[in-house]
Chains A and B, each alone.
Chain A
């Protein structure tokens, strides 16, 4: 880490960084500002940088003309379920890959890496046809099931479990503990922050997933927020404030989750690439 003394160059650098951060946030701010204007105000030139008083017509329109709250509910249910199942199963699978011996271990790990490289869009239609056979189309099961098996969490957890000193497990085994107990009473608490962080990552990823919910849902009440949002946006007429309002509504949960848990998220992201 460079430790610079306070200098003109140093101050200039800091000022530059602050300005950069503000400019970086500007597009998000602009979306929010546009959403708070009357439609006819969004298209004036020169544009109003700060809308006052704020106009909530666009938000009212969206809430009145779409089941946005039902969409929030769907997305929450899906994201929480996927996150819970994915993390739980990944922990177990990663533990086995890290500490247990079984036939096919190498093959499984290799298939996880290849699976990580597969683009989801390629499998969307066969997956959809499979869903119809299972009668999962337009159901929560259909939304949740395919998203549970993400290789990323397994790969990350395995890496972290490999770091836990082997003595912990050896000692516990001598004491007669079951593998299950070792996982949940030793390995999990020791790695609590990465588990927490990966949960946030999976949650945000599931929430923002666009393609799969688009394909597997058939009815308006079953849509998730990213998909429903694009339907509301195909409204006719002058629509810029409405478009931005749907964007604001769609982003609030993930942005709030991030800002609330930011420390954990940053740790998780760094760990996802194999760093501590």
Chain B
């Protein structure tokens, strides 16, 4: 979360402004051209009935009106929330657990840390096509071979979403683990020593020293996870494409289908805007609830 503004505006040295614009200029140029402008275009498109190439007429709030009554959209929102529930807290908890395990080690620390983090550097298509879909293949995957079964893991409506969640956690938990490692290392040793002197055993030290002091980091991880998992697209696109029977259709996948398979660019833009609003609202609510202060 953004730190509080340093001192109040300093009115001296107006020529500061020109130099400032020179510094900000290059980044701002790219930012406005390639992020702000397309984003505004999406807002505009959401008010039209354009096809995928942007050809259409202005239709006002018609798309949003349709969206409110679009059952498939709300089902997609439900699936996205389900996915968020499956990943946000578990991914955070596993990251914390792994950080605890790693910090216990001394000579083995770096190799173990590298091993646990390595999945994070792989491209998503490698994680899905070359690892997850291959290992879990219904007929030739090693998991089924070892279990002696023929289950199509991602073809099962009950397993599909948890499957995507599992792959996501394996792939990305390294990031959370590192955050927790930094946070745990920031807790001064004296606190533990003081607690030990007071007669607290290992478990009590964990409960009364570690947990409260790691809470700011934990809430930060939770917020980052929340934003990231609401935006999920790549894994679903590659693993299940929203199936089976729409069981894993999340909002961004629904948007993709509307845009590229139905050719409804305008409507897809409205879906996208709805998602952004949801993300902004949810993150604001969550940050209020957790009252995060940045750790310095």
Touch test A–B (CB under 8 Å) = yes
Binding site for B on A (CB under 8 A): 1-4, 10, 13-14, 16-18, 20-22, 24-25, 27-28, 30-31, 34, 42-43, 45-47, 85, 88-90, 92-93, 95-98, 100-103, 105-106, 108-109, 111-119, 121-123, 125-127, 129-130, 145-146, 148-149, 151, 154-155, 159, 162-163, 179, 183, 204, 207-208, 210-211, 225-226, 229-230, 233, 240, 243-244, 246-248, 250-251, 254-255, 257-259, 262, 266, 269-270, 273-276
Number of interface residues of B (CB under 8 A): 107
B122-138 to A contact mask, C-beta < 8 Å, 1/0: 11111001111011010
CB distance B118 to A162 under 8 Å?
no
CB distance A207 to B123 under 8 Å?
yes
Task: State the CA gap A151–B210 with chains docked (Å).
Answer: 32
CB distance A266 to B38 under 8 Å?
no
Nearest A-chain residue to B102, judged by Cβ = A17
- B116 in contact (CB, < 8 A): yes
- B256 in contact (CB, < 8 A): yes
CB distance B178 to A269 under 8 Å?
yes
Tell me which residues across on chain A come within 8 A of B139, comparing CB atoms. 43
CB distance B42 to A1 under 8 Å?
no
Tell me which residues across on chain A come within 8 A of B192, comparing CB atoms. 1-3
Q: Which of B13, B20, B27, B135 contacts A149 (CB 8 A)?
A: B27
Specify the main secondary structure of chain A where it touches its partner.
helix
Nearest A-chain residue to B205, judged by Cβ = A2
Nearest A-chain residue to B193, judged by Cβ = A3
CB distance B123 to A210 under 8 Å?
yes
CB distance B6 to A162 under 8 Å?
yes
Known: A43-B140, A162-B6, A269-B179. 20 other contacts (CB 8 A): A1-B103, A1-B189, A45-B140, A92-B27, A93-B26, A96-B20, A112-B31, A118-B39, A119-B276, A122-B272, A123-B35, A123-B42, A149-B30, A149-B31, A255-B121, A258-B121, A262-B114, A266-B113, A274-B220, A276-B182
CB distance B116 to A24 under 8 Å?
yes
